[in-house]
Structure 1
Amino acid sequence: MHYKHILLIVVIGFSLFSCSQDFLDKEPISEVTTENFFATASDLQLYTNGFYRMFPSTSIYNGDSKTDNIIEIELSAEMRGARFVPTSGGGWNWAYLRDINFFLENYERSDDEAAKSHYGGVARFFRAYFYFEKLQRFGEVPWYDKTIDPADEETLTKPRDSRQFIVDKILEDLDWAIANMQADQQVYEVTKYAALALKSRVGLYEGTYMKYRDIAGYEKYLESSIKASEELINNSPYSIYSTGKPLEDYANLFNAHEAIDAEVILARSYSEALNIGHNVNYYTTTSSYGRPGMPKDLVNSYLNKDGSRFTDLENYNQIAFTEEVNNRDPRLSQTIRTPGYTRKGQSIELAPNLGATVTGYQITKYATEPVYDTNGQSITDLPLFRFGEVVLNYAEAKAELNTLNQEDLDASLNLLKARVNMPNLSLEMANNNPDVFLANQYPNVNGSNKGVILEIRRERRIELYMEDFRWDDVVRWKAGETLTQAIRGMYFPGAGEYDLTGDGETNVVLYNGERPDNLVPGVQYYEIGSDIFLDDNGLIEPHPDFDERSFNESKDYLYPIPRLELQLNPNLEQNPGW
């Protein structure tokens, strides 16, 4: 049996240390274990396999729908500025932490030194992962590194620890894991390389979070990100996946049934045989599940094939679809339907289905053969950490520290451009001529590296699209106002017949009033003002009745602590503005 299937079975069947809603109400784990459980390497592996349930299961790609990356029929509460304080839940769940700390208090009973080193590192990795998620969501939180006696009221009601204290503890755990874990290349298991990738992510997040809020001391976190990234770049088996096919390799990295471990450091696995799937095919192809689409401002962000800016063209917002997507960065045609698109394993060229996307730009990333289109049946492994992110982290951290040079870019970000045969990013050219289009999106980017930082952000949004980074990036950059900019879709000058495949045949008909007679099979028909809405410039308007949105700079970067938790622990303070 394939190892990914074995691990899936173990994780799914792992109920010995199951989670409860809150660690305050959980029975001590010691009551459901035995004195000799932690004796062998198998015991340690079995226990730590339960931690893998912390990873996103079926919605790693849906996180972008909270932001301006994926637009659906209904905007998220984050995009609308309509979040509220929940009574309970809301992400304030600590059960996994108790399980992790219980393991760390008991795993050294084993006499297997190698197993203790590795699985001790696995547990510390997951504690770091757990706290990093809490930090991103709530900011300061209480730090617990031991299980708590239910009678220990003082510990149970401790106040939040400082943000810096939490981050330093996260990095301390990761450094221990990096020093002690196995360095095997295991795409479905946490290893030293996954810990390095998480350290790269944490350091960049906190360093930029502090920098864009004028908090002193941010430099050390950017340095920690650089150090971890350099270790992966220089001393790991990972690289940017490429077979020399720039029109296919990016798409194939994400629609492969099994994770491509040349680039993917850690993946969440799925299996048709075990009936464990997710819903990306259904999500991107059906008209009854959100109708997700890429927004026009992101389509505009993709460079032309020669490296020039699409937004430097005159009237770039009023260019017909087939011309608009022609000769662009090849990742555009490997992320949305463009002329020549076919489903995996098929040869029939398909136009964008405007019934399945509110913007007209239909997403194809992760999508596979139509046989997996039923809800919950997609089996593509989903990347949790990949080398592509690491090289972007490296370039951005160095740019923010003003230590980036051209050699750094060529050893990192430009590897991603090389995969799709795009011209290299030039540090000098970027800084001498910052992109006005991007500068309007991120007005708080300034300084001598303004141009290259904007270009790195362009690259990050494109390369990591639909991988659940956008919200966290907007938060750490203090760029919340970006989410309030106008949302638009594909350009149509008005009623008429349109060819979206470039083959000279009509695919879409837009009409006013009565539906045309003699409907042609295979052609999409939409009534303007009913089925589809166009603004005064001919751009699809996905939400004609709700285009005014707000972002509260004083509170919306964090989530509120549930009311019940504030009652249980009077020493907790609610996040500002909530």
Structure 2
Amino acid sequence: MKKKIIILTAFMGLLLSACSDFLDRKPLTQPEDKGFLVGREQLENYINGLYSALPTPTQFGMSVRGEEVNSDNILAEKYDKRLNGENNQFSGATDWEKGYQNLRNVNYFFYHYEVPENLETDEVLSLRGEAYFLRAYWHFYLLTRFGDIPIMDDFWDGNATLEGLQIPASKRSDVARFILSDLKAAIGEIPEAKASLFPRSKYSGLRINKEAAAILAMRVALYEGSWEKYHKGTDFAKEDNSAEFFQEVLNWGDQQLFPAGLTLNTKETDDEAVNPEDAFAHLFNKGDYSQISEAVFWKKYSVDGGVYHVLGQLLAGGVIDNQGPAGLSKSLVDNYLNADGSFINPEDEKYKDFNQMFEGRDGRLLATVMHTGSKFRSAAGSKAAKPMNVKAYDATGTEEEMKEKNADIVCPNLTGDGKYKSVTGFHINLGIDTAYVEGNCETGIILFRYAEGLLCYAEAAAELEGKWNDAVLNKTLKPLRERAGVTWVEPKADPNFPFTGLTPLLQEIRRERRSELALQGFRLDDLMRWAEAGTLKGMKGRGRGAYLGEDGILYQSYSPKDHETLKSVLVDNDKWMDPLQQYLPNGYLFNLNRDYLLPIPQDELQMNHQIHQNPGWETVSE
């Protein structure tokens, strides 16, 4: 049998030594076995090594800011193959390997944990609690991608036998219950924060804490509850335990999250906030979140310490996808409400004006998408960031006079090259360091945020009969909108909302998730659990960008000599930018009967006869 890299997974640690030498490998975070994890210092060093696998920016690349090329939030020339039904039987190999390798490393900790009971201080127990959190995290990573999976609740790599490999997959609802039980164990081990300090433990959010465990539990329960509800009656959901899991979300919120005393970062609590969007924006462009309790679990960077990234530099240059030209979608821009709480009509003629797209809107739109006034380096190689400024180019006078009169115009990179080129006119503003400095970046990254917990609670309450009321509204959606400068109004049906068949309340909750969590890695999971990937199919679903008709201010902001180049920009019949028309002439071809789950790697199926291939993949060949 041909060996493939997908053999190297935690689950495949059970392979016979004749098939692989993987069993003989030790986790990279430790040098010994016996007597290695016997004290606080050894435990902390080992757990610190496990943190490195969490999804935070490395030195290079877009990381989470560019991740949503896998959804309708970002349009990229290098489009997501899963959305277009182009996955094959090997497409799940990397995710399977990553999940089980990390689970193996966490279970190594439990297997070799040998701290005497008399030395189990609060610090030691807290580290063990962090291990429970990480085991829950990686099981959830696998659940969202594969559904039914073998639960890796022990270090299985001991004396592996072929018989020992035959471990059945647990049904997805039981996997979710196991994850929640691990998170309860985590909370039971992590000590309470001191009353004189912020919540998030004495580390002010720099380490895994009770509040992060509560939010992860709410995320898991909401995911499983909505998956089972909206996939009911298909091969992807054989049972419906949605009410149980929605209630779990409320239980975790009432018993763990709300009593913790977390608060949103608002204009009233943020001394640096001036405009309505600032308090939200500051959650993504600061280096230190220790005094912001909304930042429940975050990572700090330090150039002096050798831990940094270049995300700020990429964002300030207009990069959205490090692999090539891309842009934020008009669908994302259209999602944001007006400041008075009304939804927009995307067909309104006024939105052909690039600048009017942003006038009087939800402050999170301004914080998320570049607009006139946003700090922008505007081209690769530029040494200084200038404000974006979209206005009509004055083509009168001499060449020198035109240069002087139009010096303040800074347009989206429609005529740029490679990854610096925007294919929609909409660049990312979220996370740009407003005190832009060329080079390495120290902007912190939040992994778990209080706002997510509020959104989970609101959605679960709306899904359960009799649970939604003014008290829920006043502690969830309303403060989120008020923070963004948006008035709460009674929901009503939006004829232009991408999802149909929803109550007005659920419509607004889904809108709120997209507005609050855009470019933070949530959109694909939301589309999958709501069974809404079908909305991406067809020519409309492939997305659009800004208006680029000759009568529009965006087109007019370019000099006449650039107009010839603008002719190469792809637009639809109504002159809205349509960047994927040549790549996806029929829109995305997502396979509704297959692509909601990834295929289990073939080698896993050949060696473990107790697991079965996911729906739609049983007869797919390479």
Partner of 2:548: 492
The alpha carbon displacement at 1:46 in A equals: 1.7
AA partner of residue 47 (structure 2): T
Aligned residue for 2:55?
56
Query: In the alignment, does 2:160 pair up with 1:103?
Result: no
Residue 46 (structure 1) aligned with residue 50 (structure 2): no
* Distance (whole Å) between structure 2 residues aligned to residue 116 and residue 343 of structure 1: 46
Q: Give the aligned partner of residue 256 of structure 1.
A: 286
The alignment partner of 1:165 has SS state of helix
Post-superposition Cα deviations, 1:522-577, rounded to whole Å, max 9, x if no partner, equal xx6553442x1221111011122123221211111111112222223233211111
Q: Do the aligned residues in 2 keep the contact of 1:60 with 1:382 (CA within 8 Å)?
A: no
Structural RMSD (CA): 2.7
Residue 175 of structure 1: CA displacement?
A: 0.8
Tell me the residue number matched to 1:527. Answer: 565
Moved more, 134-143 or 563-572: 563-572
Amino acid corresponding to residue 88 of structure 2 in structure 1: F
Q: In structure 1, how many angstroms separate the alpha carbons of the residues matched to 2:552 and 2:105?
A: 60
Residue type at the aligned position of 1:352: P
Identify the match of residue 509 of structure 2 among 431, 456, 462: 456
SS at 2:192 equivalent = coil
SS of the residue aligned with 1:96? helix
The match for 1:443 among 497, 500, 503 is 500
Question: Residue 301 of structure 2 aligns to which amino acid in structure 1?
Answer: Y
Correspondence 1:188 to 2:192: no
Residue 353 of structure 1 aligns with an amino acid whose one-letter code is N
What are the within-5 Å matches in structure 2 for residues 257-276 of structure 1?
A: 257-259=287-289, 261-276=292-307
Instruction: State the SS of the aligned residue for 2:78.
Output: coil
The residue that corresponds to 2:557 in the other structure is 507
Post-superposition Cα deviations, 1:232-265, rounded to whole Å, max 9, x if no partner, equal 5522242111134413121121011223532111
**One of 320, 323, 326 as aligned partner of 2:353:** 320
* Distance across 2 between alignment mates of 1:275 and 1:305: 42
* Partner residue of 1:382 out of 445, 451, 454: 445
Give the match's secondary structure for 1:91: helix
Mapped to 2, the partners of 1:45 and 1:145 lie a distance apart of 21
Asked if residue 112 in structure 1 is aligned to residue 172 in structure 2, the reply is no
Q: Which amino acid aligns with 2:412?
A: P
Which aligned pairs between 1:74-473 and structure 2 lie closer than 5 A? 74-86=78-90, 89-93=93-97, 94-110=100-116, 111-113=118-120, 114-148=122-156, 149-184=158-193, 185=200, 186-214=204-232, 215-244=239-268, 245=274, 246-259=276-289, 261-284=292-315, 285-286=317-318, 289-311=323-345, 315=348, 319-343=352-376, 348-350=387-389, 351-354=411-414, 355=416, 356-368=421-433, 377-402=440-465, 403-424=467-488, 426=489, 429-430=490-491, 433-438=492-497, 441-445=498-502, 450-473=503-526
Q: Give the match's secondary structure for 1:266.
A: strand
221-230 vs 32-41, which moves further: 32-41
1:71 matched to 2:75? The reply is: yes
CA distance in 1, matches of 2:50, 2:71: 28
Asked whether the equivalents of residues 298 and 448 of structure 2 are also in contact (C-alpha less than 8 Å), the reply is yes
Shift of 1:389: 0.7
In the TM superposition, residue 462 of structure 1 has moved relative to its aligned partner by 0.9
Aligned-partner residue type, residue 492 of structure 1: L
Partner of 2:235 in structure 1?
none
C-alpha displacement at 1:282, in angstroms?
A: 4.5
TM superposition outliers: structure 1 runs of 4+ over 6 Å = 18-21, 344-347
Q: Which amino acid in structure 2 is aligned with residue 408 of structure 1?
A: V
Inter-partner Cα distance in structure 1 for 2:86 and 2:25: 38
Letter in 2 for 1:125: F
The verdict on how the C-alpha distance between 1:526 and 1:472 changes in structure 2, with shifts beyond 3 A counting, is farther
* TM superposition shift of 1:319: 2.7
Given the alignment of the two structures, is residue 559 of structure 1 paired with residue 598 of structure 2, yes or no? Answer: yes
Instruction: Indicate how the Cα distance of structure 1 residues 301 and 239 shifts in structure 2: closer, same or farther if over 3 A, else same.
Output: same
- Which range moves more in the overlay, 208-217 or 23-32? 23-32
Unaligned runs of 5+ in 2: 1-7, 15-21, 58-62, 194-199, 233-238, 269-273, 378-383, 390-410, 618-622
Q: CA offset at residue 202 of structure 1?
A: 0.6
Q: Please report the TM-score for the alignment, with normalisation by the length of structure 2.
A: 0.79
Q: Is residue 569 of structure 1 aligned with residue 608 of structure 2?
A: yes
Q: Kindly indicate whether the alpha-carbon contact (under 8 Å) linking 1:283 and 1:289 is maintained by their aligned counterparts in 2.
A: no
8 Å CA contact 2:338–2:344 kept in 1: the answer is yes
Q: Bigger CA drift: 356-365 or 97-106? A: 97-106
* AA matched with 1:255: N
- Distance of aligned partners of 1:352 and 1:48 in 2 relative to their CA distance in 1, 3 Å threshold: same
1:205 partner amino acid: Y
Q: C-alpha distance in 2, partners of 1:217/1:88?
A: 26
CA deviation after TM superposition for structure 1 residue 21, in Å: 10
Which residue in the other structure is 2:13 paired with?
Answer: 23
Q: How many residues align?
A: 528
SS of equivalent to 1:75: coil
The aligned amino acid for 1:105 is Y
Separation in 1, partners of 2:451, 2:91:
39
Deviation of 1:299 after TM superposition, in Å, equals: 1.1
CA–CA distance in structure 1, aligned partners of residues 80 and 326 of structure 2: 12
Of stretches 166-175 and 181-190 in structure 1, the one that deviates more from structure 2 is 181-190
Moved more, 256-265 or 283-292: 283-292
Q: Deviations over 1:142-172 (max 9, x none)?
A: 1121122243333323121111221111111
Q: Partners in 1 of 2:318 and 2:373 — Cα distance? A: 20
Check whether the contact 2:542–2:580 (CA below 8 A) recurs between aligned residues: no
Letter in 1 for 2:524: W
1:29 Cα deviation from its structure 2 partner: 4.6
Q: Distance in 2 between matches of 1:67 and 1:547?
A: 18
Segment of structure 1 superposing worse, 477-486 or 133-142: 477-486
Pairwise CA distance, 1:320: 1.3
| Native 8 Å contact 1:230 1:394 kept in 2 | no
Could you say if the C-alpha distance between residues 316 and 564 of structure 1 is closer, same or farther in structure 2, counting changes exceeding 3 Å? farther
For the residues of structure 2 that align with 1:460 and 1:119, how far apart are their CA atoms? 32
Q: 1:247 to 1:319 in 2, by over 3 A?
A: same
TM-score by length of 1: 0.85
